[in-house]
Amino acid sequence: MVWFSHEDTSIDRPTIEALCDRLVDEAKKRLGISELRRVLLLPPDITRAHAGVGWMTEHLYHRLDGAGAEVHVIPTLGQHVPHSAQENTWMFGSIPNERIHAHDWKNGVTHVGTVPAEVVAERTGGAVTWEMPIDLNTMTVTEDWDLIINVGHVVPHEVLGFANHNKNYFIGLGGKRTLGAAHMASAVYGIENNLGNLLTPVRACFNWAEEEFLADLPDVYLQVVMAYDDGGSLVHTGVYVGDGLDTYYSAARASMAQNITAFDEPVDKIVAVMQPDEFHATWVANKAVYRTRMAMADGGELVIIAPGVERFGEQPEVDALIRKYGYLSKHEVLEKYATEADMQDIPHATAHLVHGSAEGRFRITYAPGKLTQEEVESVGYGYLDIEEALRRYDPAVMKDGWNTMPDGERVFFISTPSAGLWSTSDRLASRADHEMHD
């Protein structure tokens, strides 16, 4: 249920910090906790830093530590590269680095149960018929915690419809088998059928798993929603706190209303910028692809300016898979997946090949900071020199929305693709036809 929420056109940091304090007080009362001795904080990783989740985690840490609790933090990395000590400081401020633990998706997980094949099949309408093993971070599920606080930003998402809530557990703290089964299920079902839907097949499976396997965890969700204000700045517009699915639905509905931009006609050219301090691989920078693909015109061009991108995958074996096969259509990937052992070994990476593909509909042009033209073109993308891209589409000059360049070119500019979803109205209507129901 939703314990409490706060919505406004702009919510400042002191107000959110006061709501964090209220969360701690309400948790003790509602969960019957007499003393907070050990507390676990589960924030997103650095790719969500723009949402302020780092300073929220820092505030909670000091509130709890100051009251005598032993507080630990596990950024919900999934299979992303663990933060360096410097990145932890940049995101989480004064939290001691020794209290921030890196999730190990290969060797640091414990099996807690399995979503049966028949449940997966029912949730996916028969599109997927394999079971979904649930392997989660060992420290989270085996140690004794008086309280677990999940911190996150709710925004449209390519696998779960909207990010956060129990994504923190099953993706952020998931093991290799869980990540593989979930990502391939989402790819088979179709990325455009997932984006911006309140309940996708994979989230339905996760909701089932949370109820079956994690019901005894003393946890609460702190979820925020952001939107652009009249000045073009991202601001917090909603804070939602609670321990059930209603908390997710309240935040996701707010995100649906505020974070989806609908066009009457497809867009011929979009230019998107991925911040260099958050995005270092196409694995995460491809949020620019996921969030704009439903807006792109057939034959159009998506230009991704990514000064921090230096590799394709977050892990060496994932990087190697992307380099070997490149970004392919769903049909091509599923055809190869049936016979290629390396694809079967890391299915979450195989699913990424689909998610990052334009399916032959439009062109994707990358302007990366540290990948060569040969590397970029080898995976199926076009290449644009980063300096040329920054000169022509200077983020300091471009404004979010429509821009007309000096030579008359008209482009739609997005400064933070990870903060929303862009689509035509027709594709949104088609997407709604696929929405599931509890």
The pLDDT tens digits of the residues spanning 310-344 come to 999 988 999 999 999 999 999 999 999 999 999 99
Nearest to 159, CA basis, from 204, 117, 118, 129 = 204
Q: Is pLDDT above 80 for 51?
A: yes
Residue 271 β-bridge partners: 303, 413
SS3 189: helix
Mean pLDDT within 20-42:
97
Who's near 193: CB < 8 A, 6+ residues apart?
A: 200, 431, 434
b/e 397-429 (16+ beta carbons within 10 angstroms → b):
ebebeeeeeeeeeebbbbbbbbbbbbbbeebbe
SS3 86: helix
Instruction: Map out the domains of the chain with their CATH numbers.
Output: 2-260 (3.40.50.11440), 264-430 (3.90.226.30)
CA distance 323 to 303: 20
**In terms of pLDDT, which residue wins out, 435 or 264?**
264
Q: Give residue-wise pLDDT tens across range 256-282.
A: 999 999 999 999 999 999 999 989 999
Looking at residue 432, its pLDDT comes to 53
Mean pLDDT within 120-149:
95
Mean pLDDT within 224-235:
93
When pLDDT is cut at 50, 70 and 90, the band that residue 435 belongs to is low
When pLDDT is cut at 50, 70 and 90, the band that residue 436 belongs to is low
Q: Give residue-wise pLDDT tens across range 187-208.
A: 888 888 889 999 999 999 999 9
The amino acid present at 433, given as its one-letter code, is D
Q: Is pLDDT above 80 for 303?
A: yes
Q: Is pLDDT above 70 for 433?
A: no
pTM: 0.90
Q: Is pLDDT above 70 for 165?
A: yes
Looking at residue 187, its pLDDT comes to 87
- Kindly state the tokens that stand for 319: 């990087």
